[in-house]
A = this chain, B = another copy of it.
């Protein structure tokens, strides 16, 4: 079933690299003008049935495929979009990318991957591809502040099509898709409170991260709703990595009046924390409950399986791509889409004092 456009092997000299066949070659071979070939391919109804078939036969025979660079130059759109990401190894982000790709495929776009490694210079270099017309739009997946993107939008390229996903929902002056971090964090906090926990520590990521901020806000909101005072001593700061989670977890033991639960703001942290806590002799969840956020594929297979919040990563990507396409198609309305999350209770949370 999978036919490529290349069946041209028949007509080429095996010992002599075949020059690229251009629209001109097709027009000559078919005995029509270049314009007609172009139309037969791109506007089939603007040409007679007979001509169209003749042209398409020749196209097939020569193995012609239109030079997309020339097409881009002429039509002023590249059908390429850039996905900016801080770390492609992050499962949420890679899930997102997958969703983007799937939809991009269907809409005729290809995706240019920009792994910025959180570096302004690299990010700027990618954004420059926009001004250089090598790409039509950008999907920003970074957790980081999107300084350059703002600058780009506001100053340099008013046409710039930018969509934000997985981050910065409120601040972004562009279409966005994400989840309700505040509500999800409330749900998890409520779950822990419901189990009977009174002292719930949280492990948060960098302060600049909107995820840190929003999840913290949800946690505090739900605490207040339950009539429990927020205690800053129960806040552990780290980064959204397993390593950091592991390191930061050691601090739990130093706390006087040790918390009975730990809510980590992403799964990697939680996994790192559990590893450390376990190695320090605490049993999860008997001695301390641990919860995560994201539901990366691994969490369900961790031992014990991690209680967490599911985020529809792939769907976020899909929506982001659709939003970008709409923007590129002239849509001016700035839409913000919020996707539902889901609390997934597994084995790392239990009532305090479980034997």
Q: Spell out A's residues near B (CB within 8 Å).
A: 1-6, 8-9, 17-18, 20, 63, 65-70, 72-73, 78, 80, 83, 88-89, 91, 94-95, 97-98, 101-102, 105, 110-115, 117, 119-129, 131-134, 148, 151-152, 155-159, 242, 246, 271-272, 274-275, 278, 297-298, 301-303, 305
Given contacts A133-B68, A271-B298, A303-B275, contact A155 B91 (CB under 8 A): no
A132 to B66 alpha-carbon distance, docked (Å): 6
Which chain B positions have C-beta within 8 A of A8? 155-156
Q: Name the distance in Å between A236's Cβ and chain B's nearest Cβ.
A: 17
**Copies of this chain, whole number:** 2
- With a 10 A CB-CB cut-off, give which of A66, A88, A117 has the most chain B CB atoms: A88
Q: Measured between C-beta atoms, what is the minimum distance from A103 to chain B in Å?
A: 12
| B residues in contact with A298, CB < 8 Å | 242, 271, 298
**CA–CA, A246 to B305, complex, Å?**
14
What residues of chain B lie closer than 8 Å to A83, measured between beta carbons?
Answer: 113
Residues of chain B lying within 8 A (CB to CB) of residue A158: 17-18
With A20-B133, A113-B112 as given contacts, are A121 and B1 in contact (CB-CB < 8 Å)?
yes
Collect the chain B residues with CB atoms within 8 Å of residue A17's CB.
158-159
Checking B4, B94, B112 against A94 with a beta-carbon cut-off of 8 angstroms, the contacting residue is B94
Q: List 22 A-B contacts (CB under 8 A).
A: A2-B120, A4-B124, A5-B128, A17-B159, A18-B157, A63-B156, A65-B128, A65-B132, A66-B132, A69-B134, A88-B94, A88-B97, A88-B98, A89-B94, A89-B95, A89-B98, A98-B115, A105-B122, A110-B129, A271-B298, A274-B303, A303-B303
Contact of A112 among B105, B112, B275 (CB under 8 A): B112
- Decide: B65 and A69 in contact? CB cutoff 8 A: no
User: Which of A8, A121, A159, A301 counts the most chain B CB atoms within 10 A?
Assistant: A301
Complex Cα distance A242/B25, Å?
A: 52
* Known contacts A68-B129, A68-B132, A302-B302, A80 near B156 by CB under 8 Å: no
Residues of the B chain whose Cβ atoms lie less than 8 Å from the Cβ of A120: 1-2
Q: Quick one: which of B72, B110, B123, B156 contacts A6, CB cutoff 8 A?
A: B156
Q: Is the CB of A242 within 8 A of B112?
A: no
Q: Using known A-B contacts A6-B156, A105-B122, A156-B8, determine if residue A69 contacts B73 with beta carbons closer than 8 Å.
A: yes
Interfacial chain B residues near A4, Cβ < 8 Å: 124, 127-128, 148, 151-152, 156
